[in-house]
Amino acid sequence: MPSTRLPVRTAAPSLVDPRGPRLGAALTTVVLAVALATGWVWLLALQAVVFALGAAGRSPYGVLYARLVRPRLGPPPELEDTRPLRFAQAVGLAFTLVALAGLAAPTGVVTLVATAFALAAAFLNAAFGVCLGCEAYLLLRRATSSAPIARTVPNPRAATPTRTEVPA
Protein backbone atom coordinates (compact mmCIF):
# COMPACT_ATOMS: atom_id res chain seq x y z
CA MET A 1 0.00 0.00 0.00
CA PRO A 2 1.53 3.35 -1.01
CA SER A 3 2.18 5.94 1.66
CA THR A 4 -0.29 8.80 1.82
CA ARG A 5 2.06 11.00 3.82
CA LEU A 6 3.23 14.12 2.13
CA PRO A 7 6.93 14.92 2.24
CA VAL A 8 7.82 17.47 4.89
CA ARG A 9 9.44 20.55 3.49
CA THR A 10 11.68 22.51 5.74
CA ALA A 11 12.95 25.91 4.79
CA ALA A 12 16.62 26.59 5.22
CA PRO A 13 17.21 28.34 8.51
CA SER A 14 17.83 32.04 8.48
CA LEU A 15 21.44 32.87 9.41
CA VAL A 16 22.92 35.96 11.06
CA ASP A 17 26.32 37.33 12.02
CA PRO A 18 26.78 36.16 15.65
CA ARG A 19 28.37 39.47 16.61
CA GLY A 20 24.96 41.15 16.26
CA PRO A 21 23.23 39.13 18.98
CA ARG A 22 26.24 39.65 21.24
CA LEU A 23 25.91 43.41 20.80
CA GLY A 24 22.20 43.04 21.57
CA ALA A 25 23.09 41.09 24.70
CA ALA A 26 25.48 43.86 25.77
CA LEU A 27 22.79 46.50 25.27
CA THR A 28 20.28 44.30 27.12
CA THR A 29 22.77 43.93 29.98
CA VAL A 30 23.05 47.71 30.30
CA VAL A 31 19.28 48.25 30.08
CA LEU A 32 18.49 45.57 32.66
CA ALA A 33 21.27 46.73 35.01
CA VAL A 34 19.95 50.29 34.90
CA ALA A 35 16.37 49.09 35.39
CA LEU A 36 17.46 46.97 38.34
CA ALA A 37 19.53 49.76 39.91
CA THR A 38 16.97 52.52 39.45
CA GLY A 39 13.70 50.65 39.71
CA TRP A 40 12.51 52.25 36.47
CA VAL A 41 9.58 50.07 35.47
CA TRP A 42 9.23 51.79 32.11
CA LEU A 43 12.74 50.65 31.17
CA LEU A 44 11.92 47.06 32.09
CA ALA A 45 8.73 47.30 30.01
CA LEU A 46 10.73 48.73 27.10
CA GLN A 47 13.13 45.78 27.28
CA ALA A 48 10.14 43.43 27.27
CA VAL A 49 9.04 45.02 23.98
CA VAL A 50 12.57 44.56 22.59
CA PHE A 51 12.46 40.88 23.62
CA ALA A 52 9.03 40.45 21.99
CA LEU A 53 10.26 41.99 18.74
CA GLY A 54 13.40 39.82 18.88
CA ALA A 55 11.31 36.68 19.38
CA ALA A 56 9.36 37.68 16.27
CA GLY A 57 12.63 38.05 14.32
CA ARG A 58 12.59 41.85 14.29
CA SER A 59 15.10 42.84 16.96
CA PRO A 60 15.73 46.59 17.16
CA TYR A 61 19.24 45.81 18.42
CA GLY A 62 19.77 43.66 15.32
CA VAL A 63 18.75 46.55 13.09
CA LEU A 64 21.13 48.84 14.99
CA TYR A 65 23.96 46.35 14.47
CA ALA A 66 23.16 45.81 10.79
CA ARG A 67 23.04 49.51 9.97
CA LEU A 68 25.73 51.02 12.19
CA VAL A 69 28.25 48.35 13.16
CA ARG A 70 28.25 45.55 10.58
CA PRO A 71 29.27 47.74 7.59
CA ARG A 72 32.51 48.59 9.43
CA LEU A 73 33.50 44.96 10.04
CA GLY A 74 34.77 42.14 7.88
CA PRO A 75 32.67 39.03 7.37
CA PRO A 76 32.35 36.73 10.38
CA PRO A 77 33.99 33.30 10.21
CA GLU A 78 30.69 31.63 11.13
CA LEU A 79 27.00 32.40 10.82
CA GLU A 80 24.41 31.58 13.46
CA ASP A 81 20.98 30.01 13.05
CA THR A 82 18.27 32.47 14.13
CA ARG A 83 15.94 29.84 15.63
CA PRO A 84 17.91 29.45 18.90
CA LEU A 85 18.28 33.23 19.10
CA ARG A 86 14.55 33.78 18.70
CA PHE A 87 13.85 31.17 21.37
CA ALA A 88 16.30 32.93 23.69
CA GLN A 89 14.48 36.22 23.07
CA ALA A 90 11.20 34.51 24.00
CA VAL A 91 12.78 33.25 27.23
CA GLY A 92 13.99 36.79 27.98
CA LEU A 93 10.48 38.04 27.31
CA ALA A 94 9.06 35.47 29.75
CA PHE A 95 11.45 36.60 32.48
CA THR A 96 10.68 40.29 31.97
CA LEU A 97 6.94 39.60 31.93
CA VAL A 98 7.30 37.69 35.21
CA ALA A 99 9.29 40.65 36.55
CA LEU A 100 6.56 43.08 35.48
CA ALA A 101 3.83 40.85 36.92
CA GLY A 102 5.83 40.70 40.14
CA LEU A 103 5.15 44.41 40.61
CA ALA A 104 1.69 43.40 41.80
CA ALA A 105 3.27 41.49 44.70
CA PRO A 106 3.64 43.43 47.94
CA THR A 107 7.43 42.98 48.25
CA GLY A 108 8.89 43.21 44.74
CA VAL A 109 11.14 40.18 45.29
CA VAL A 110 9.73 38.46 42.20
CA THR A 111 10.56 41.50 40.08
CA LEU A 112 14.06 41.68 41.51
CA VAL A 113 14.82 37.97 41.03
CA ALA A 114 13.34 37.68 37.52
CA THR A 115 15.16 40.80 36.35
CA ALA A 116 18.41 39.56 37.91
CA PHE A 117 18.08 36.20 36.09
CA ALA A 118 17.51 37.95 32.75
CA LEU A 119 20.45 40.26 33.48
CA ALA A 120 22.74 37.32 34.31
CA ALA A 121 21.79 35.51 31.10
CA ALA A 122 22.34 38.63 28.99
CA PHE A 123 25.70 39.25 30.65
CA LEU A 124 26.87 35.67 30.02
CA ASN A 125 26.05 36.09 26.34
CA ALA A 126 27.63 39.53 26.02
CA ALA A 127 30.81 38.78 27.95
CA PHE A 128 31.48 35.13 27.15
CA GLY A 129 29.30 34.23 24.15
CA VAL A 130 27.25 31.78 26.23
CA CYS A 131 23.61 32.08 25.22
CA LEU A 132 21.62 30.13 27.81
CA GLY A 133 18.36 30.38 25.85
CA CYS A 134 20.12 29.15 22.70
CA GLU A 135 21.59 26.20 24.57
CA ALA A 136 18.17 25.37 26.03
CA TYR A 137 16.69 25.47 22.50
CA LEU A 138 19.35 23.10 21.20
CA LEU A 139 18.81 20.68 24.11
CA LEU A 140 15.06 20.70 23.48
CA ARG A 141 15.54 20.14 19.75
CA ARG A 142 17.96 17.29 20.27
CA ALA A 143 15.54 15.67 22.73
CA THR A 144 12.50 16.00 20.48
CA SER A 145 13.83 15.73 16.91
CA SER A 146 15.87 13.24 14.97
CA ALA A 147 17.06 15.91 12.54
CA PRO A 148 20.55 17.21 13.34
CA ILE A 149 20.84 20.87 14.26
CA ALA A 150 23.86 23.07 14.72
CA ARG A 151 23.95 26.55 16.18
CA THR A 152 26.62 27.88 13.83
CA VAL A 153 27.75 27.11 10.30
CA PRO A 154 30.88 28.23 8.45
CA ASN A 155 30.46 31.46 6.54
CA PRO A 156 31.31 30.86 2.86
CA ARG A 157 32.01 34.57 2.41
CA ALA A 158 34.58 34.75 5.18
CA ALA A 159 38.16 35.07 4.13
CA THR A 160 39.89 31.74 4.48
CA PRO A 161 43.52 31.74 5.45
CA THR A 162 45.76 31.03 2.51
CA ARG A 163 48.50 28.45 2.77
CA THR A 164 51.91 29.57 1.75
CA GLU A 165 54.36 26.94 0.67
CA VAL A 166 57.87 27.12 1.99
CA PRO A 167 60.48 26.26 -0.63
CA ALA A 168 62.61 23.23 0.24
pLDDT, tens digit (0-9, with 9 covering 90-100), for 22-46? 999 999 999 999 999 999 999 999 9
Report the 10 Å Cβ neighbour count for 125. 24
Identity of residue 164: T
Lowest mean pLDDT among 24-28, 45-49, 88-92, 137-141: 137-141
The Cα 165–Cα 168 span in angstroms is: 9
Q: How many Å separate Cα 146 from the centre of its chain? A: 23
Percent of the chain with pLDDT over 90: 74
Those residues with Cβ within 8 angstroms of residue 110's Cβ, 6 or more apart along the chain or in another chain = 98, 99, 101, 102
- Domain assignments of the chain as residue spans, ordered by start: 16-145
